[in-house]
Structure 1
Amino acid sequence: MRVLQPPGWPRPRGYANGIAARGELVVVAGMIGWDTEGVIRSPDIADQVRQTLRNIVAVLAEAGAEPTHIVRMTWYVTDVDAYVRAYREIGVAFREIIGDFRAAMTAVEVSRLVEPDAKVEIEVTAVIPDPPQAGAAEQE
């Protein structure tokens, strides 16, 4: 994976302007903060983000992918002000569950999500890198 940073542009905080990657594409549908029983346990946006990120990691694992393979995330939030107020808690959850890396990210406010109690929905694209090709000397 290669971060795309045009010369002279300021470095973004917490995301990348773009990512280039080769390998197996993994697309994760919009995940929300419900648990394995399909229940949203908390009305708090930071709590919902934490559970949403856990759900994303679980789906990635089904493909043999890890959080470091994420190249793009789109966040849909129902209240951008609440999202901004929760930056610190969201950042802690992100680092604990996803790690400290950069993906191309977009966050947009929407009037509502399909699940009425959901305050955040996150879509993810990941790329599992192609395995390194063995050199001619290794093949002999």
Structure 2
Amino acid sequence: MVRRWSPDGIPAPIAAYNHLAAVPEGHELVVFAGQVGTLSDGSLAGPDAEAQARQALANIEALLGTLGATPANLVKLFTLVAGREHLPGLRAALRDTLGRWFPDGDVPPNTLAVVAGLATPEIVVEIEAMAAVPRRHPTGE
């Protein structure tokens, strides 16, 4: 499975993440496009960062399922939030979801960037992911 760790002698992470993650042998790295808080009908889960982040993470979990994978396969997250005022809602969604996905605290690396805006003014959270999934056959397809 994915190995995640924060080496001794390096400053501790400032939030819930590890500094490093490694893809195990026999796995391939799958890169996810940024996921936003859209429901299956294309509408936003809500106007706020917490609702959008929860849905973006649910979308990541659903995409993992299409690969026969789970959040345990996550190697890295990259989180974008459109403005510091949205950080509390984003952090609540991350805390709850990552706590459910990784009850042992073995969370993947996660970069968080506060940006001026995302694809549309209504979107306030976008989350990219990378996962290590077992190779299906030698070509990786």
Pair in the same fold by TM > 0.5: yes
TMscore range, shorter length: 0.7 to 0.9
Between the aligned partners of 1:88 and 1:75, the Cα distance in structure 2 is 14
Aligned to 2:115: 110
Residues 115 and 59 of structure 1: is their aligned pair in 2 closer, same or farther, counting only changes over 3 Å? Answer: farther
Give the TM-score, by structure 1 length. 0.81
Aligned to 2:10: 9
> Which ranges in structure 1 are unaligned for 5 or more consecutive residues?
132-140
Amino acid paired to 2:119: V
Between the aligned partners of 2:94 and 2:123, the Cα distance in structure 1 is 15
> Which ranges in structure 2 are unaligned for 5 or more consecutive residues?
137-141
Aligned to 1:99: 102
Larger Rg: 1
| Alignment of structure 1 residues 51-66 onto 2, 5 Å | 51-66=55-70
Amino acid paired to 2:128: E
Q: What do you get for the CA RMSD once the two structures are aligned?
A: 2.1
Residues 109 and 86 of structure 1: is their aligned pair in 2 closer, same or farther, counting only changes over 3 Å? Answer: closer
Identity over aligned pairs, percent: 31
Between the aligned partners of 1:7 and 1:120, the Cα distance in structure 2 is 32
Runs of 4+ in 1 over 4 A off after TM superposition: none
Secondary structure class of the residue paired with 1:58: helix
State which drifts further: 14-23 or 87-96: 87-96
Between the aligned partners of 1:52 and 1:81, the Cα distance in structure 2 is 18
| Alignment of structure 1 residues 20-35 onto 2, 5 Å | 20-22=22-24, 23-35=27-39
CA contact (8 A) 1:26 1:60 kept: no
Residues 90 and 102 of structure 1: is their aligned pair in 2 closer, same or farther, counting only changes over 3 Å? Answer: closer
